[in-house]
Every structure is written in structure tokens, then in C-alpha cells.
């Protein structure tokens, strides 16, 4: 059993900003995909915003067990049709890992139903991500905290739903805190938000960050068949009720009619 991970990279700053290009000459998505390949149980590929349908065709998504998402400056350029396609695949069971500035991606806002807003400061300050539950699968093999010497600050309040689990909480040098690792379930898909990864710092080369990415892919993987019927609203005819019942009272619908949506 090998997990098929797809990394979406916005791939804009890598081509416009010399600092970002010097850190991630092949694009951030390639660095992330390479981190995943260090685990023999994961195969990873990449897609970018610039490809037709951002590379996320129905076929590609059908072959994706876990999708990782890095975007920042071009959230608005992501096609609404692709967003809906990704969202449906999550409901059906695909795992989704939202990275850093992806908090404002259409997909994360769509799946949480919240603003996903936060405070921020770009000062290259020190961040420490403290592990809340040492034996959470996403924290496997980590020290008690991950220290990143230079990162962008994200500060609370982070307007997201209460998570299923808080996996990391960050300390920032300038005085703020942030819930940096949060898990959610949407339909049969698992979702993980992971905070670090500002494009002007070499965060995705950090060994602990790379370990989190691999752990998260394995945690988010759902081996079950795609739950394609999750959006259906089937009528159960009276005749096939599990307990014998007789129809009583008035009704709106004729037998076999679809419900209203």
C-alpha cells in the first residue's frame, strides 16, 4: 500500500521574487514533494496554478489520496469549479493538508465555513511550535517543540471552527501565540492545517517540518473506497422500510420523486 500525495503549488513568487527563487529554485511544491518522498510509503507528484485546471482534473483527483495545498498571492485565481471538485473529493475521503497562507485559500474557507482570518507580521522572528499530544500520529518522532529561527508571525484570534484536535500551539518572539496544527473531519475526509512555511524563509528544508508533512499525509490517508454517494439524499419508499409501516397523512411528494435541494 502506497499513499499517493499531490502537492499543489501556487508557483507565483518563485518566478517573480529573487529571494524566493533562490531558496526554492524548483518551486516550493517540489521541495515539499521531495520531503514526502523520503518516506517509502508515499509517492508524490506536483501540480501548479498555471496548468490547465491547475492540474487538478477529475482524473488526477481520483488518483490522489492526500492533497497538500500551498497558495498565497493568487488565491483569487483558483477556479471555483476546481475548488468544488476538490471539496467533493475531500467529502468522499481524500485527505487535505492546508499549509501556511493557505488559511485564506478558497478551499479552506469553503470547508470550514469561517473567515479563517488572523494577525500577521513579517519580521523573520523566532517561532516555537509546541507539541500538545506527544503521541498524536502527526507529532510522531518530534522533540517537545519545533524551533524555527525565522518565520512570519501569525497571531490569534484565528477565526476557524473549534478543531477536532489541537496538535501544535506556536510561541512567537514578538509576544503572540497561534494554534498551529489543527485537525478537522469533513464528510469522510480528514483535513489538517499546518502553520509554518512563509516563502522567504527555508522552512520546508527543516527536518522536523518535513517529518510533520510526512506524518500528516499518513494520518490524513483514508484507505476506504470513495464515498461517492455522500451528496445524495435518497428517498426510502414506504414499501421498503425496515419496519413495516403504513403511509399516513398528507404528503408533498409522489412516489419515486426526488427531494428538493
Per CB under 8 A, contacts with a copy of itself among 39-58 are none
Instruction: Kindly state the DSSP code that residue 222 receives in the 8-state scheme.
Output: -
Stretch that binds a copy of itself, among 25-33, 41-49, 52-60, 198-206 (CB under 8 A): 198-206
The string of DSSP codes covering 140-182 is: TT--SEEEEEEEEEEES---SPPPSEEEEEEEETTS-EEEEEE
> Is 45 or 155 the residue whose CB approaches a copy of itself more closely?
155
Among 46, 112, 203, 208, binds a copy of itself (CB under 8 A): 112
* Span 89-108, contacts to a copy of itself by CB under 8 A: 91, 93, 101, 104
Q: Tell me: does residue 156 bind a copy of itself (CB under 8 A).
A: yes
Are 150 and 23 within 8 A, CB to CB? no
Are 98 and 193 within 8 A, CB to CB? yes
Q: Tell me: does residue 245 bind a copy of itself (CB under 8 A).
A: yes
Among 26, 37, 58, 113, binds a copy of itself (CB under 8 A): 113
Q: Tell me: does residue 150 bind a copy of itself (CB under 8 A).
A: yes
Cα four-point dihedral sign 14, 193, 220, 37: positive
Whether the upstream peptide bond of residue 62 has omega within 30° of 0, thus cis, is: no
**Residue 76 phi/psi, 5° resolution?**
-70, -15
Among 54, 179, 195, 211, binds a copy of itself (CB under 8 A): 179
Number of residues that bind a copy of itself (CB under 8 A): 100
Q: Which of 186, 168, 185 is nearest to 177 (CA)?
A: 168
Among 77, 164, 205, 207, binds a copy of itself (CB under 8 A): 164
- State in angstroms the smallest separation of the CB of 16 from a copy of itself: 10
Q: Angle 8-12-13 (CA atoms, 0-180°, nearest 5)?
A: 115
> Is 45 or 129 the residue whose CB approaches a copy of itself more closely?
129
Stretch that binds a copy of itself, among 1-9, 47-55, 59-67, 161-169 (CB under 8 A): 161-169
Q: Tell me: does residue 85 bind a copy of itself (CB under 8 A).
A: no
Cell of 102: 493557505
**Distance, CA of 13 to chain centre:** 20
Among 69, 184, 192, 194, binds a copy of itself (CB under 8 A): 184
- 502527526: which residue's cell? 138
- State in angstroms the smallest separation of the CB of 208 from a copy of itself: 15
Max CA distance (Å), the chain: 73
- State in angstroms the smallest separation of the CB of 26 from a copy of itself: 19
- State in angstroms the smallest separation of the CB of 200 from a copy of itself: 4
Amino acid at each position: 500500500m502506497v499513499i499517493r500525495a499531490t502537492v499543489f503549488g501556487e508557483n507565483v513568487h518563485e518566478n517573480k521574487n529573487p529571494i524566493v527563487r533562490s531558496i526554492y529554485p524548483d518551486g516550493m511544491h517540489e521541495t515539499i514533494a521531495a520531503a514526502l518522498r523520503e518516506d517509502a510509503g508515499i509517492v508524490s507528484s506536483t501540480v501548479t496554478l498555471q496548468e490547465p485546471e491547475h492540474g487538478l482534473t477529475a482524473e488526477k483527483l481520483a488518483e490522489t489520496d492526500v492533497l497538500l495545498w500551498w497558495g498565497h498571492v493568487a488565491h483569487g485565481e483558483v477556479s471555483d469549479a476546481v475548488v468544488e471538485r476538490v471539496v467533493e473529493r475531500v467529502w468522499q475521503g481524500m485527505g487535505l493538508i492546508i499549509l501556511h497562507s493557505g488559511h485564506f485559500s478558497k478551499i479552506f474557507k469553503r470547508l470550514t465555513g469561517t473567515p479563517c482570518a488572523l494577525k500577521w507580521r513579517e519580521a523573520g522572528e523566532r517561532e516555537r511550535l509546541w507539541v500538545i499530544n506527544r503521541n498524536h500520529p502527526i507529532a510522531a518522532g518530534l522533540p517537545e517543540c519545533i524551533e524555527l529561527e525565522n518565520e512570519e508571525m501569525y497571531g490569534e484570534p484565528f477565526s476557524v471552527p473549534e478543531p477536532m484536535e489541537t496538535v501544535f500551539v506556536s510561541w512567537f518572539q514578538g509576544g503572540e501565540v497561534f494554534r498551529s496544527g489543527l485537525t478537522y473531519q469533513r464528510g469522510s475526509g480528514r483535513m489538517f492545517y499546518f502553520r509554518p512555511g512563509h516563502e522567504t524563509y527555508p522552512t520546508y528544508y527543516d527536518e522536523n517540518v518535513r517529518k510533520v508533512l510526512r506524518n500528516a499525509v499518513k494520518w490524513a490517508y483514508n484507505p476506504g473506497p470513495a464515498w461517492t454517494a455522500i451528496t445524495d439524499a435518497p428517498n426510502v419508499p414506504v414499501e421498503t422500510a425496515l419496519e413495516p409501516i403504513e403511509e399516513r397523512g398528507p404528503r408533498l411528494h409522489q412516489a419515486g420523486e426526488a427531494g428538493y435541494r
